[in-house]
Structures are given as C-alpha cells and as structure tokens.
C-alpha cells in the first residue's frame, strides 16, 4: 500500500513540474525581452550583412522596446561569429544575422565546430541578394565570354577575391571554374569590403561581389560589371545579363540573409522574434534600406519553411562541392 501511495505521489509531483513548465514558457515569452538583445553579424562593418543587420536591428529595437546592439564578429568566412552564437545561452538575447555562407561553409567543411541543422534555431529570412561578377577595368575584358577566353589562355594567372573561405564569393568562383574548365587563383579576405578594395586597386582581377558592395563601385567606374548570378536580371543593373544569359548555362548563386538563435531557445521567444521580423519587413524604412543596397526583402514565411529551405540549400551546396571536387584551402 505504501509503495502504491509513494508511486502516486511521485507521479503527481512529476506532473506538477510539467504543468509549471508549461505555464512558465508562455510567461517567459510574454516577459521577453527585459534587457538589451545582441545581434551578432559575423562580418565586418560596411558590407551587405552589416547593412541588413543594422536595418533589422533598428526595427526590432523599436518593436521589442529594448536596445538591439549589432556586434560585428568577422573571421573565417563567418564561422567565428556563428560559433559564438551556437554556444551562447539559448535565452533569446543573442541572435545572429548571416548569409548563405552558413550552409556553404557546412558543405565545404564538415568538421566545423557546430552543426547548422542542430545547433541553431532558424528564426526567419530577411532578404535575398544577387551577386555581381566584376573585374578590374584594366583586365581588358567586357563580357563573361571574353573573361573565360582570357582565363583559358592564361592558366593560373588570373585571380579572384572572396570575403573568406566558404563564402558565397568563394563557392561562386569555384563553381564558375568547374563549369567552365578554367583555373583561377583564390585570394580570400576577412570581408567583402577588403576584397573589393583589392579588385579596385588591381591587386586581384575579379570578384563575385554582393550588390551592396558592388553597386557604388560599378556606378563610379572603379570596377566593370559583367553579369549577375541570379536567375533573373537585377533591377538596379537591368542592362547586365545573368550568368546563364552570358554563356554559363544554369549558373545561379543568389545569397539569402536570415536571423538565427541558439538551439533550445524557448518556442515562445522564437515565436515572438518571428512575429517581430515579419513586422520589421513590413516597415517601409527597412524595405527601402534593403532595396537601396541591392537586396530584396524576403516574403513572410514560417520558421518551419525557413528550416526546410536551409536543409535544401545545404544539400545543394554539398552537391556542388562534391561534383566540383572543391577542397578547403
């Protein structure tokens, strides 16, 4: 009899714990946030992700009622900042805004200190951004076909810059090399602005640059644009062909930008953040800031849709890395 009573009491005690937890989660979500939120941008100031992060941060700060501090943590193609977020307390006070480099790095380097599919909680997409293939004007080419012909005539003599190993600029360059059977020297930097600076100076010959960094330099004539990497032409540079139109059949390498939290962040907090991101993307000032920098605000979607897309993107770039036999440098 005593054993039966003891078992019943234990069961009731356990049920009470679960019931308390069930009530605590919504309360935690309702109280969140009650202190500043840190938004990690694993890239240097001035680039595509930094611009998007600051625009999103301003909007989130207004709607959350707490400071949203943008913290630039560049290095290793976005890996250093991402690793810090993966290991941060899962309380909603450390977030990350990053790009396709997250899935590209995972495809290129399976030994990363984190797992994209299990160490992050996808919150939502923020924007899409095409890249632009640009060259130094002194290279003397005016089209993608001319660039390919020059590269074939000078194996290993032409170089291409990137914002770091495993970044969109890097894998776009490797995909271009593989598809066209050409040999180019990869020169990685710690961020897109530095990579662009050396293309402008002629230290490096070409770059698959994000539109935010490329547009001012193209308009000033410091670099020459040859094509965009998106499936369709880019409105701000409507005269430019896509890579497909320029002769590189089925080449497509758009970048996505999205916000993440550490895995195990409470569902109520993630739901609040998802709702506030949707609200921010409906803000005309945020949309204008993104569009003026060459980005397209993302359509509203669920967290589950973002997670499914990430899985698909990882599979895509894993296939590219395998078929092109790309190795970490």
Domains of the chain: residue spans and CATH: 29-129+255-323 (3.40.190.150), 131-237 (3.40.190.10)
Residue linked to tokens 């074939």 = 152
Q: pLDDT band for 300, please (50, 70, 90 cuts).
A: confident
What average pLDDT score do residues 106-112 get? 91
Would you state the pLDDT for residue 30? Answer: 64
What mean pLDDT is predicted for residues 58-87? Answer: 94
Q: pLDDT at residue 276 above 90?
A: yes
Residue 293, token pair as written in the block: 């920098």
Does 125 have pLDDT greater than 70?
Answer: yes
What's the whole-model pTM score? 0.79
Letter string b/e over residues 293-305, b meaning 16 or more CB atoms within 10 A of that residue's CB: bbbbbbeeeebee
Going by pLDDT thresholds of 50, 70 and 90, the confidence category of residue 296 is confident
Tell me what the pLDDT averaged over the chain comes to: 88
* Across 64-68, average pLDDT: 96
Which residue in the block uniquely carries the two structure tokens 């080419």?
141
Question: Which of 131, 113, 71, 82 has the alpha carbon at shortest distance from 310?
Answer: 82
Could you tell me where the DSSP H helices lie in the chain?
2-31, 48-64, 79-86, 101-108, 144-153, 168-180, 192-201, 211-220, 267-281, 284-292, 303-323
- What are the two backbone dihedrals, phi and then psi, of residue 123, each rounded to the nearest 5 degrees? -100, -50
Nearest to 150 by CA among 227, 206, 210, 208: 206
List the structure tokens of 314: 């990882």
pLDDT at 82 over 80: yes
Q: State how far the alpha carbon of 11 is from the alpha carbons of 4, 19, 20, 23, 242, in Å.
A: 11, 12, 14, 18, 64
Average pLDDT over residues 101-117: 93
**Euclidean distance between CA atoms 214 and 316, whole angstroms:** 26
Question: Residue 153 has which token pair?
Answer: 């005539």
Q: Which residue has the tokens 């989130």?
A: 60
> Using the 8-state DSSP alphabet, how is residue 299 labeled?
P
Count of all residues that appear for the chain in the document: 329
- Its sign, for the CA torsion 46, 49, 51, 53, is negative
pLDDT in tens, 187-221: 999 888 899 999 999 999 999 998 877 889 999 99
Averaged over 231-252, what is the pLDDT? 92
Q: What is the pLDDT of residue 58?
A: 93
Question: What pLDDT does 25 receive?
Answer: 43
Confidence of residue 7 (pLDDT cuts 50, 70, 90): very low
Average the pLDDT over 79-93 and give the result.
97
213 against 71, higher pLDDT: 71
| pLDDT(271) > 90 | yes
* Higher pLDDT, residue 288 or 299: 288
Among 194, 197, 250, 172, smallest CA distance to 186 is for 172
Q: How confident is the model at residue 181 (pLDDT cuts 50, 70, 90)?
A: very high
The mean per-residue pLDDT over the stretch 121-131 comes to 93
- Cα 68 to Cα 28, 59, 60: the distances in Å are 19, 9, 7
């Amino acid at each position: 009899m005593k054993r039966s009573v003891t078992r019943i009491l234990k069961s009731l005690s356990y049920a009470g714990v679960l019931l308390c937890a069930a009530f605590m989660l919504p309360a935690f979500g309702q109280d969140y946030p009650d202190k500043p939120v840190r938004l990690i941008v694993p890239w240097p100031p001035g680039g595509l992700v930094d611009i998007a992060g600051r625009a999103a941060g301003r909007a989130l700060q207004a709607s959350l009622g707490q400071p949203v501090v943008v913290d630039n943590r560049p290095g290793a193609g976005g890996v250093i900042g991402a690793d810090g977020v993966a290991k941060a307390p899962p309380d909603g006070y450390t977030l990350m805004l990053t790009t396709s480099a997250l899935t590209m790095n995972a495809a290129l380097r399976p030994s990363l200190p984190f797992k994209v599919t299990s160490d992050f909680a996808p919150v939502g997409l923020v924007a899409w951004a095409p890249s632009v293939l640009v060259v130094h004007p002194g290279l003397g080419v005016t089209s993608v076909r001319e660039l390919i012909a020059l590269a074939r005539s000078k194996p290993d003599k032409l170089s291409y810059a990137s914002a770091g190993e495993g970044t969109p600029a890097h894998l776009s360059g490797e995909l271009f090399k593989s598809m066209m059977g050409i040999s180019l020297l990869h020169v990685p930097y710690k961020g897109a602005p530095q990579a662009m600076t050396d293309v402008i100076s002629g230290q490096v010959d070409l770059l698959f640059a994000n539109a935010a960094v490329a547009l001012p330099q193209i308009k000033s004539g410091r670099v020459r644009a040859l094509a965009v990497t998106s499936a369709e032409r880019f409105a701000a540079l409507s005269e430019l062909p896509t890579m497909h139109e320029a002769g590189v059949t089925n080449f497509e390498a758009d970048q996505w930008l999205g916000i993440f939290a550490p895995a195990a962040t409470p569902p109520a907090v993630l739901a609040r953040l998802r709702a506030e991101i949707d609200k921010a993307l409906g803000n005309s000032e945020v949309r204008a800031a993104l569009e003026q920098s060459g980005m397209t605000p993302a359509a509203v979607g669920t967290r589950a849709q973002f997670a499914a897309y990430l899985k698909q993107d990882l599979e895509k770039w894993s296939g590219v890395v395998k078929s092109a036999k790309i190795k970490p440098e």
